[in-house]
Amino acid sequence: MSKIRAYAAQSANSPLEPFAIDRRDPGSHDVAIEIAFCGICHSDLHQVRDEWGRSHFPMVPGHEIVGQVAATGRDVSRFQAGQWVGVGCFVDSCRHCEACRAGEEQFCADGMTLTYNGFERDQVTPTFGGYSTRIVVDENYVLHLPEALPRERAAPLLCAGITTYSPLKRHGAGPGRRVGVMGLGGLGHMAVKLAKAMGAEVTVLSHSARKQAGALKLGADHFVDTAKADLLKSQSGAYDLILDTVSASHDYNAALDLLRRDGTLVLIGVPPPSPLAAGSLIMKRRHLTGSLIGGIRETQEMLDFCAERGVAPEVEMIPMEKINEAYLRMDRGDVLYRFVIDLASLRKEAA
């Protein structure tokens, strides 16, 4: 067992502050990773503030982790010291249920082991995330980071990347398909980049006209200001697939009206409940569905795809000491489009 430097929230009302955590020594199938970069997901903010009601304190957030292998257990065969690797939203699962056997560990019947704000399989030992200098993970839940991916920009792929890649692939984004992206934040900007890389025609749907220049710069073919009723009406029946990344309350029926016959609206944001009219689905046989992250196999596929197509998130780097300021800025939407923590200063303190 080793003491590791980290930043933690002690309660829902406290700032993130320096904290020491215990990390186990690598077991026979474990990989010890020196963390270089950790993305800041908006869910980190929700969890730290206990806005979803399932928070455990003290909490060390962070599930978009990039680093180098420092040591491996004696039976590890897939990794070696010095390799760049990633860790995403979960670090274990039951491994034997139907979902796990299918490579969909995120839907584990017994529950996936979250990278932070969760418990190990013993349901006693808390998990601590990537706002720390080191993490130890079973090799089956560690991802190879392709050399072509820029290390400092790759971290958000481990959550925002796979969250958008999975439904785009599952629902056939590609040449000849019109894809709408609702919302242009951390998730939305990755949806634009990935859908374009897959060959789709991409439109950003946003009520913030100021985001138009950014949407087009990211590669979107079109931008629609949804605050303008006439523009929104002109898009009725226009899209094969819409990824809804919005977490604020909004009208699903208006979004469904934008779909063609047999079109699909995929919810990947987590908004408050919204009324749904059956007619919005029935009249054109539209589909309303949701999507979580992806399994280990699909996440590796996504990383390889991004490396091959030159897709990487747009990020702003911050030192660990600026984390509370970053949370305040993220809360008001003041980031293009994802914060990534450079752990160098925290590692230096630990040396």
Tens-place pLDDT, residues 49-74: 999 999 999 999 999 999 999 999 99
Mean pLDDT of 314-320: 98
pLDDT in the model for residue 348: 83
Amino acid at 149: L
CATH 3.40.50.720 maps onto the chain at 161-290
Q: Where do the CATH 3.90.180.10 domains begin and end in the chain?
A: 2-159+294-350
Nearest to 87 by CA among 126, 17, 134, 49: 134
E strands in 49-157: 65-72, 84-87, 90-92, 113-114, 134-138, 143-144
> DSSP class of residue 39?
E
- pLDDT above 90 covers a percentage of the chain that reads 94
pLDDT-derived band of residue 1, with 50, 70 and 90 as boundaries? confident
Spatial separation of the C-alpha atoms in residues 316 and 307, rounded to whole Å: 20
Q: What is the pLDDT of residue 273?
A: 85
94: closest CA among 142, 157, 127, 138?
138
pLDDT at site 116: 98
Tokens of 243: 């990824």
pLDDT given at position 193 = 98
What's the average model confidence in pLDDT over 137-149?
98
* Side chain identity, residue 43: S
What is the structure's pLDDT at 347? 86
pLDDT tens string 199-255: 999 999 999 999 999 999 999 999 999 999 898 899 999 999 999 999 888 999 999
Mean pLDDT of 23-29: 96
Percent of the chain clearing pLDDT 70 (strictly above): 99
CATH of domain 2-159+294-350: 3.90.180.10
Structure token pair of residue 308: 């091959």
50: number of Cβ within 10 Å:
17
Looking at the domain that runs over 161-290, which CATH code has it been given? 3.40.50.720
CB within 8 Å of 283: residues ≥ 6 apart = none
Mean pLDDT of the chain: 96
Nearest-CA neighbor of 343 among 66, 147, 88, 140? 66
Q: Residue 349 has what pLDDT?
A: 76
Helix, coil or strand: residue 44: helix
What sections of the chain are H helices per DSSP?
42-48, 98-101, 151-154, 160-170, 186-197, 212-218, 229-234, 252-256, 278-282, 296-309, 323-331, 344-350
**DSSP strand pairing (30-39 vs 134-138):** antiparallel
Taking 80 as the threshold, does the pLDDT of residue 351 lie above it?
no
pLDDT given for residue 350 in this prediction = 65
CA distance 181 to 276: 20
Which of 66-70, 144-148, 273-277 has the weakest average pLDDT? 273-277
Q: Is the pTM of this model over 0.85?
A: yes
- Joined tokens for residue 58: 């003290």
Position 346 pLDDT exceeds 70: yes
